[in-house]
């Protein structure tokens, strides 16, 4: 039995896809939300228009987990620590798999490191890559990366989490997979801001390219492999997130570029991650000019024109 913690759009989509291969438990913190989904077989609040198969059990009660069962943690990155503080003991005999992307604002840690800290004895994994919840839920083909430092556990999870429409690739580089998913959100905000301000697709292409260089710079400095960033969890996710308005980070950036308000109820992982990355980069002595510009935009220290002027006026150099 696979359990998905988090009944947001992505958690619901994963549960739907996984339920095509067997029973799945979908946990929702809000009891009313869980009852509503169980009754209507629809997650109208987060992923409307997609029917929940009868093989999904929706519940607000985590209950007891079967020893060794996969548990997918599909909650926003900044809520992961709180969830694990509450349920870490119950997860001790399971196989936790992070499905969130980002860097914790207070500590600069990624999800696998937080799981290691709060679930003693756990060997964490992360499932990440270019994917939109709606595509997964509708059965459209998607490829993801499963990163786990322990190779045999990684092979087991790869088999269990592959579905008719999700092809899972495997790596042992958890640091690279974490950082690819986190850093691409920051670059997506920058690209969205450029498009929102009417700076054009050439500017977006430049930001994606130089942003990818920034992603590699930090990832390698923190011990990741460059080839991981060139794969689904880095380059692949960057392309999807920066080029589609389905991306919340891109839409948030577009609102910044247009100087419009953005719905505070929508989770934008790249916002907190940009601040965390800026702090971490400064401590490591890394140049991350796009990240610094995004952080300045979010904090209203910079306007889009000032941010672009700052980037364009940097010293000329070889690529």
Please spell the DSSP secondary structure of 10-57, one letter per residue. Answer: HHHHHHHHHTTTS-EEEE-S-HHHHHHHHHHSEETTTEEEEEPPTTEE
pLDDT band at 305 (very low <50, low <70, confident <90, very high): confident
Distance, CA of 288 to CA of 130 (rounded, Å): 23
pLDDT at 316 over 80: no
Sheet strands (E) in the chain: 2-5, 24-27, 42-43, 47-51, 56-59, 70-73, 95-98, 125-128, 142-148, 166-171
Residue 319 lies in a domain: no
Residue 93: per-residue pLDDT: 87
Do 154 and 54 lie in one domain? The reply is yes
pLDDT at 235 over 90: yes
Residue 175: per-residue pLDDT: 97
Residue 243 lies in a domain: yes
Least confident of 56-70, 158-172, 206-220, 255-269: 56-70
pLDDT at 65 over 80: yes
Furthest C-alpha separation in the chain: 61
Do 147 and 220 lie in one domain? The reply is no
pLDDT digits (tens, 9 = 90+) for 109-137: 999 999 999 998 899 999 999 999 999 99
pLDDT digits (tens, 9 = 90+) for 32-45: 999 999 999 999 99
What's the burial of 53, exposed, middle or buried (CB within 10 Å: 0-12/13-18/19+)? middle
Do 88 and 133 lie in one domain? The reply is yes
What residues have CB less than 8 Å from 32, skipping those under 6 apart? none
> Is 184 a catalytic site residue?
yes
Do 228 and 263 lie in one domain? The reply is yes
Residue 310: per-residue pLDDT: 85
Tell me the two tokens of residue 192: 């969205």
Distance, CA of 27 to CA of 31 (rounded, Å): 10
pLDDT band at 317 (very low <50, low <70, confident <90, very high): confident
pLDDT at 311 over 90: no
The enclosing domain of 80 has a CATH number of 3.40.50.720
Distance, CA of 308 to CA of 138 (rounded, Å): 38
pTM score, whole prediction: 0.95
Do 218 and 167 lie in one domain? The reply is no
User: What is the count of structural domains for the chain?
Assistant: 2
Do 84 and 193 lie in one domain? The reply is no
Residue 150: per-residue pLDDT: 97
Residue 317 lies in a domain: no
Residue 312: per-residue pLDDT: 79
pLDDT band at 66 (very low <50, low <70, confident <90, very high): confident
Q: Look up the domain containing 228 and give its range.
A: 182-312
Q: Answer with the one of 140, 175, 210 that is the final residue of a domain.
A: 175
Tell me the two tokens of residue 53: 């198969």
Do 158 and 303 lie in one domain? The reply is no
Do 150 and 206 lie in one domain? The reply is no
Indicate the length of the chain as a whole number: 319
pLDDT at 314 over 90: no
Q: How far is CA 156 from CA 121, 150, 170, in A?
A: 18, 10, 10
Residue 201: per-residue pLDDT: 96
Phi first, then psi: what are they for 224, rounded to 5°? -80, 165
Residue 183: per-residue pLDDT: 98
CA atoms within 13 A on the CB side of 214: 28
pLDDT digits (tens, 9 = 90+) for 150-177: 999 999 999 999 999 999 999 999 999 9
Residue 170: per-residue pLDDT: 98
Residue 295: per-residue pLDDT: 96
Residue 196: per-residue pLDDT: 96
Do 141 and 222 lie in one domain? The reply is no
Q: Answer with the one of 130, 157, 175 that is the final residue of a domain.
A: 175
Angle at 131 between CA 128 and CA 135, to 5 degrees: 145
pLDDT digits (tens, 9 = 90+) for 218-230: 999 999 999 999 9
DSSP single-letter state for residue 64: P
Residues 102 and 131 sit within 8 Å (Cβ to Cβ): no
CB atoms within 10 A of CB 48: 10
What's the burial of 42, exposed, middle or buried (CB within 10 Å: 0-12/13-18/19+)? middle
Residue 21 lies in a domain: yes
User: Which residue is it, tokens 């930090």?
Assistant: 218
Residues 141 and 167 sit within 8 Å (Cβ to Cβ): yes
Residue 318 lies in a domain: no
Residue 92: per-residue pLDDT: 85
Catalytic residue among 81, 101, 113, 184: 184
């Amino acid at each position: 039995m696979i359990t998905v913690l988090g009944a947001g759009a992505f958690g619901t989509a994963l549960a739907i896809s996984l339920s095509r291969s067997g029973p799945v438990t979908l946990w929702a913190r809000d009891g009313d939300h869980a009852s509503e989904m169980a009754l209507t077989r629809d997650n109208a609040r987060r992923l409307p228009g997609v029917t929940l198969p009868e093989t999904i059990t929706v519940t607000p009660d985590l209950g007891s987990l079967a020893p060794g069962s996969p548990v997918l943690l599909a909650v926003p990155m900044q809520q992961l620590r709180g969830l694990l503080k509450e349920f870490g003991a119950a997860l001790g005999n399971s196989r936790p798999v992070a499905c969130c992307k980002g860097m914790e604002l207070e500590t600069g840690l990624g999800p696998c490191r937080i799981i290691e800290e709060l679930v003693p004895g756990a060997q964490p994994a992360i499932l990440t890559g270019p994917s939109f919840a709606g595509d997964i839920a509708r059965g459209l083909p998607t490829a993801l990366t499963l990163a786990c430092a322990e190779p045999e556990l990684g092979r087991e999870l790869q088999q269990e989490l592959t579905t008719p429409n999700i092809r899972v690739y495997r790596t042992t580089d958890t640091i690279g997979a974490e950082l690819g998913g986190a850093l691409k959100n920051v670059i997506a905000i920058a690209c969205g801001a450029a498009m929102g301000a009417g700076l054009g697709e050439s500017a977006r292409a430049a930001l994606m390219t130089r942003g990818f260089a920034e992603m590699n710079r930090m990832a390698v400095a923190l011990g990741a492999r460059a080839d991981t960033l060139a794969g689904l969890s880095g380059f692949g996710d960057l392309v999807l997130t920066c080029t589609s308005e389905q991306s919340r980070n891109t839409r948030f950036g577009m609102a910044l570029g247009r100087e419009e308000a953005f719905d505070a109820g929508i989770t934008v992982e790249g916002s907190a991650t940009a601040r965390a990355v800026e702090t971490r980069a400064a401590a490591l002595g890394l140049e991350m000019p796009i990240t610094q510009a995004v952080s300045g935009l979010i904090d209203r220290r910079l306007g889009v024109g000032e941010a672009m002027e700052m980037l364009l006026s940097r010293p000329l150099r070889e690529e």
